[in-house]
Chains A and B, each alone.
Chain A
Amino acid sequence: MTLALEAVQVTKEYPSPSGDGIITAVDRMEMALERGEFVALVGPSGSGKTTMLAMLAGLLAPNSGAIRIAGQDLTQMRERERTAFRRREIGFTFQDNNLVPYLTALENVEYMLRLNGEYDRPGRERARELLVRLGLEERLKSLPRQLSGGQQQRVAIARSLINQPTLVLADEPTASLDTERAFQVVETMAQLVHAENRAAIMVTHDLRMVEYCDRVIQMVDGRLERVLSTREDITCLVNPALCERIPLAVLGYEEDEALQVQYVEL
């Protein structure tokens, strides 16, 4: 069976700001996702996870390596083909500027149908149902500014799934939410990804959010550091107080004071 996503030896290099060298943002990353998998991509700031996400989305071309989504190599596509491929096969949620501010919640979701030429009665019904499933029945006609941060993220999740894409990419979807709403959003996302049999990657630096993920891929300095794939390992990562096998220091978080404080609160 074709993998939903396969990244092989993906490398991205930039010229250094001083101009006398090269910075390797992503170094020979490997990654594979099956349909129905919800994976967290974690790592400290500057570890290359957002750059990796941009390459997986076809927004940034790697210097070397291959990225295949549903068996099709993004790196071999022309710009136009990639744009068309993105709107068919990839769903997005972002940290900011997630929704079109002058479209209602329903219109934001329906916009993807319009882009794909599927703005018909069944499509519109699907959009409505998706939002209802996400608890937004009363807010279908609300503009983004009339929605809370959590509601906006739920609309974005609905938009990312409406076209039944192969891959859903979420860039720090909980960054601007309080803890309670952040958990709700990730839990909802996980449920929908599993229910709709999509593959999803969520970039986050908040380790508490990986609780609902099937796997955790950790990047450090542009490289794949480790993959946690058992429930036990992931639980340890989320709640290190219960587990000494994966100390935070190993994951490279010991210098991040904000995260340390969050763990103390837990």
Chain B
Amino acid sequence: MSNGFHLAWLEVWRNRARFLLFSLVIALITLLILFVAALGEGLGLGNREYLQKLDADLIVFQDTAQLQISASQISPAQLRAIRRVRGVDAAGAIAFAGASIPRASAKPMDISLIGVEPGLPGAPPVLSGKTLYRSASDEVVLDAVVAQMAGLAVGDRVTIRSIQDDRETLYDLTVIGITDSRKYSIRSAVFVPMDTWDRIRSQAMAGGSNMTELPHNIAAVRLADPTQADEVRQALLEQVDRVAIADRQATWENAPGYSEQQSTLNTQRGFALLIGVLVIGGFFQIQTLQKVGQIGMLKAVGTPNRTIAVASLLQIVLVTAIGVLIGGAAALGLAQVFPGNVPIVFTWESGLAAVGSIMLMGPLGGLVSIRYALRVEPLTALGLSA
């Protein structure tokens, strides 16, 4: 073991420029894998953050909507029926629309305009200021990213822009509270009472509806006892007409493109990892091929195969680890300078998974070269072959 370490370390140290160069290649691959992972996490979070943080156990959809929020419409009658079901603690209607906030020195900021019922599931808690407490008011709660990017604070007036028919219309509202980041559909969120939402949302969305009662997209249901989810789900299906039920995770996983986006990014991550394995394997294989005579000599003078294997493996692990460290540090550094609206989120879980997979797969790529090194005949030291 110690002889293997001695050989591995001195070879790396005395050829540090070459090995560092290779570590940098591994660092770039690490950076790529971490960024793809962060992008996956960022996009995924951007799609599900609001739903993930929702204080609800079940989400009720229109039955024909196939758990698609934008296609679902829950009527007030259905909402009332939901509230009557035994085991339902509270149910809040939620409606989604797109809008933007004009900014003086930058492009308008796209937002998710989310209509909620104050005091009911769906309405966000606040970090500062007050929660929404009145329906049909001109008050909003902003998520922290909107507040930061638009430079708004509690008490400020915010202008929300939406398209009414073919005209751009501006609405001035008062910021009464700031909640934490609650992105939906990759956009940061602005929360308004449901009646206000109905007034602001693009009227094209209303589809010229002459309905007297305002339909919502979904109902967020909080249970009196979360362990009774299956029973309440069954009761809802039996007692409320034409609804479908999902939990929060199923809801975001059914969001349009969510699964496809995640699987695409996972495929990219897999390919990047595969490229890493091939690059690491290729480098060490070429290096072993260049050292055949030297390995033959080492074996001829009595170096056991175990020492050769340990030296090769340690080198691969060392060079990969240095590359991963540099790549990880670079990713962390770059993450600091990315603007907040770029959907890149580094999490320890996905970062460690990516780093762990490279650390595991790198030596796997190098196994071929170790096998080759072990098969070098000591006879090659004498210019002979077996």
B 365-385 binary contact with A (CB < 8 Å = 1; else 0): 000000000000111011110
| B10 CB within 8 Å of chain A | yes
Rounded to whole Å, the gap between the CB of B303 and the closest CB of chain A is 6
- Are B301 and A96 within 8 A (Cβ)? no
By beta carbon, the residue of chain B nearest A95 is B383
| A97 CB within 8 Å of chain B | yes
- A143 touching B14 in the complex, CB below 8 Å, given contacts A92-B301, A97-B297, A101-B294: yes
| A243 CB within 8 Å of chain B | no
A residues whose Cβ falls under 8 Å from a Cβ of B: 50-51, 53-54, 57, 59-60, 80, 83-84, 86-88, 90, 92, 94-98, 100-103, 107, 111-112, 114-115, 143, 159, 171
| B156 CB within 8 Å of chain A | no
Rounded to whole Å, the gap between the CB of A70 and the closest CB of chain B is 15
The SS class assigned to the B binding surface is: helix
List residues 96-132 of chain B with CB under 8 A from any CB of chain A: none
Q: How far is the CA of A159 from the CA of B377 in the complex (A)?
A: 21
Counted as pairs of residues, one from A and one from B, with CB atoms less than 8 Å apart, the total is 77
- Are B294 and A83 within 8 A (Cβ)? no
Q: How far is the CA of A98 from the CA of B2 in the complex (A)?
A: 22
- Are B11 and A102 within 8 A (Cβ)? yes
When distances are taken between beta carbons in the complex, the residues of chain B under 8 Å from A112 are 301-302
B residues whose Cβ falls under 8 Å from a Cβ of A: 2-3, 6-7, 10-11, 14-15, 293-294, 296-304, 307, 377-379, 381-384, 386
When distances are taken between beta carbons in the complex, the residues of chain B under 8 Å from A54 are 379, 382, 384
Partner of A107, one of B10, B302, B304: B10
Rounded to whole Å, the gap between the CB of A58 and the closest CB of chain B is 9
When distances are taken between beta carbons in the complex, the residues of chain A under 8 Å from B302 are 83-84, 86-88, 90, 112, 115
- A115 touching B384 in the complex, CB below 8 Å, given contacts A54-B379, A97-B296, A107-B10: no
- Known: A92-B297, A97-B294; 13 extra A-B contacts, CB below 8 A, are A50-B384, A51-B384, A60-B379, A80-B304, A83-B299, A86-B301, A96-B293, A97-B296, A97-B297, A100-B7, A103-B10, A114-B3, A115-B302
Rounded to whole Å, the gap between the CB of A20 and the closest CB of chain B is 21
Q: How far is the CA of A115 from the CA of B297 in the complex (A)?
A: 14
- Are B6 and A114 within 8 A (Cβ)? yes
